[in-house]
Amino acid sequence: MQPGFAFEIEATDGAARAGTLTTPHGSVPTPLFMPVATLASVKGVDIGRVRETGAGMVLSNAYHLHLRPGEELVGQAGGVAAFMGWNGPTLTDSGGFQVFSLARQVKVTEEGAFFRSHIDGRAVEFTPENSMRIQQRIGADVAMQMDHVVALPAERVVVEDAMRRSLRWAERCRAAHTRADQALFGIVQGGLDPELRQESAEGLRAIGFPGYAVGGLSVGEGPEAMVAALHATTPHLPADRPRYLMGVGQPEDIIAAVAAGIDMFDCVLPTRCGRNSLVYTFAGQVRLRNAKYAADERPLEEDCPCVACRHGRSYLRHLFMAGEMLGPVLASIHNLTFYQRLVGRLRRAIVAGRLAAEQADLRAGMAVAEAGDATS
């Protein structure tokens, strides 16, 4: 680890770990979930409310911030944390997934990715070198290598080619990255093939990074395949470095991934689902537009500390049915709080040596089709 960064494992339970990640902007307990502030904004939730959910670290995206407002403006503001008024650690994704999912007319060569902006169609170039320049200017505590993402399922030759290109790009990113107060993480690729995942992990380990991410998942494969890929990957990563599963996911995915040895997560689901009236609880999902909540005065969860749970389901449903923007805001805050409570429960279970029992309890509670159905 470089100066200002540390990762300490405090307890284990099987492959699962409870630890602390230290950065120049503070320390955060793991397992941790990062709300997604793609454009230096968590959709619909101001940064003070994000902190109140229990979040300790947030994620922004180099692809999006490069396109607007530009990394120079972010850098002039003092970096992405200062730009959005966040007083904790931050991470930037390099944008490899966004090139795969958003950009138009993408051409990937050994040099890099060349594409048209999804915003205005202008030509954009992402190479390992300028990805590092962009992320260093944005100034997050953790930057990600540029990688080549492909959709799954895909032929082995396609996955293998992208994985090996990602390894070569990792070497170029490592050489181009010079910011001492920013940690650069490598990204394991290899699709669902255990041999390719192992080769990628060992190749990145040979290059040497202060942290390692598992990428290229949640791109079309099922949950069982994702978990199998994790179990094929984590044993080949250094035990003393943080492990980050990118873009995942559903609560069940996080429960399974923690058991496989993953420490860090991010996903847009809490706010995306919140904006669409779906909220998570430990007793199942609640679809707030459902007519059965029209006169339901119960909070979403009795023991949840979030501001949404100061109101009854009836009021929250009314907000959505009336088209009031407060509805999506409150539902998003609740979901973000739920995710922080979820990783907190998993952490406490690891420390207590009862992760398997906690997993069973969580799965039994959340398996209810819709919260309240089991007792109504």
Distance between CA 44 and CA 54 in Å, rounded?
Answer: 17
Can you give the pLDDT at residue 372?
A: 64
pLDDT tens figures, 123-165: 888 999 999 999 999 999 999 999 998 888 889 999 999 999 9
d(CA 3, CA 180): 8
Q: What is the pLDDT of residue 122?
A: 86
Q: Is 93 a catalytic residue?
A: yes
**What pTM was estimated for this model as a whole?**
0.95
The pLDDT of residue 246 is 95
- The pLDDT of residue 369 is 66
Angstrom distances, CA of residue 205 to CA of 157, 186, 202, 237:
23, 9, 5, 7
Token code pair at residue 130: 């300028």
Per the CB < 8 A criterion, the answer to whether 148 and 99 are in contact is no
The pLDDT assigned to 123 comes to: 86
Question: What is the pLDDT at residue 376?
Answer: 33
What is the Cα–Cα distance from 214 to 169, expressed in whole angstroms?
A: 15
List the structure tokens of 219.
């791109």
> Within the chain, which residues score under 50 in pLDDT?
374-376
What three-state secondary structure class fits 38? coil
% of the chain at pLDDT higher than 90: 84
* Nearest 10 degrees: Cα torsion 84, 113, 111, 94: 30
CATH 3.20.20.105 in the chain, residue ranges: 7-267
Helices (H) and strands (E) in the chain, counts: 14, 16
Identify the burial level of 31 via C-beta atoms within 10 angstroms of its C-beta, where 0-12 means exposed, 13-18 middle and 19 or more buried: buried
pLDDT at 152: 83
User: Is position 13 annotated as part of the catalytic site?
Assistant: no
Query: What pLDDT does residue 374 have?
Result: 46
Alpha helix ranges (H) inside 221-354: 223-233, 251-259, 269-275, 313-321, 326-352
pLDDT at 375: 39
Q: Which of 93, 141, 147, 253 is catalytic?
A: 93
Looking at domain 7-267, its CATH architecture is Alpha-Beta Barrel (3.20)
Which member of 13, 147, 263, 266 is catalytic? 266
